[in-house]
Amino acid sequence: MQKALVSIIITTKNEAGVLERLLQSIKTQTYPKIETIVVDNNSSDSTQKIGKKYTKRVFTFGPERSAQRNYGAKMSKGEYIVFLDADMELTPNVIAECVSLISKNKKYGGISIPEESIAQTFWEKVKGFERSFYVEDPSEATDAARFFSKKVFDELGGYDQSITGPEDWDLPERMMKKGYKTAKIKDYIYHYERVPNPFKLAQKKYYYALTAHRYLKKHNLPLFSQKTIYFLRPVFYKQWRKLLAHPILTVSMFFMFFVEQFGGGMGFLIGKMKNL
């Protein structure tokens, strides 16, 4: 039986420091039939030059991640598509397991892939500590699909380009409303956390939250929920022994949550007031 083509779509902007590691990991995949597409948002560094060492399919497109992803999907030829960030690294069987799982059930429209953090600085270790809770006790509030059937992706119109940040959740939720299901593989993506301090995370949350009001209204979601408020996620409290076993990481993680929530809250209020 002929293998289906998988299109890996990587969105970039000034990612020269991390992109090659991901591209190398794509070359080591056990799944044989892959095309790699890099959609770059006008990088000023050598991102595009590095991309062209590994694939001829390097495009320039913007202005935001959702638009880049949709453009990559439009240019793809695969039966399946997977969206990756440049600071990731695939373990060898990720693509093979995704294809195997989605092929087992016609109702599977998307597949989520667990992430394992690779950290060097203290705050990267704190972010990795947070992610470890999701891996050990997977929760719908923390896992968004990134591997899709191209047919289903096109049927849903791809990512909502009016949303930046929550688009990761918007697409799988629209998918499930159409009657499709999502599943999770066991293999990992390594995510190289780049967290100099919590205040940089707050800046990112602020930016992403500027259009979050659209996402909440679109899906009739409450402002205060597990998806929007870290402190409301039961995944942390179910593993209370782990919290107690690592007091410094625990205190730092909750401080990080507070700073991120403040940045996200300010972004939400300003975005809603200005109707961004």
pLDDT tens-digit profile of 28-43? 999 999 999 999 999 9
**Mean pLDDT value across residues 198-223:** 92
Domains along the chain with CATH numbers:
6-195 (3.90.550.10)
- Can you give the pLDDT at residue 166? 87
Query: Whose CA is closest to 249, among 123, 116, 121?
Result: 123
pLDDT at 98: 97
- CB neighbours (10 Å) of residue 274? 8
Mean pLDDT of the chain: 93
For 129-180, how does the pLDDT look when each residue is reduced to its tens digit (9 = 90+)? Answer: 998 888 777 655 566 899 999 999 999 999 999 988 889 889 999 999 999 9
pLDDT in tens, 212-228: 999 999 989 888 888 78
**pLDDT tens per residue, range 49-86:** 999 999 999 999 999 999 999 999 999 999 999 999 99
pLDDT for position 141: 52
pTM of the full structure = 0.91
**Structure tokens that stand for 104 in this block:** 């087992």
pLDDT of residue 225: 83
Q: Which of 255, 267, 264, 266 is nearest to 127 (CA)?
A: 255
What are the CB-based long-range contacts (under 8 Å, 24+) for 250-258? 250/129, 252/122, 252/123, 252/126, 253/126, 253/129, 253/130, 255/198, 256/123, 256/126, 256/127, 256/130, 256/198, 256/201, 257/230, 257/231
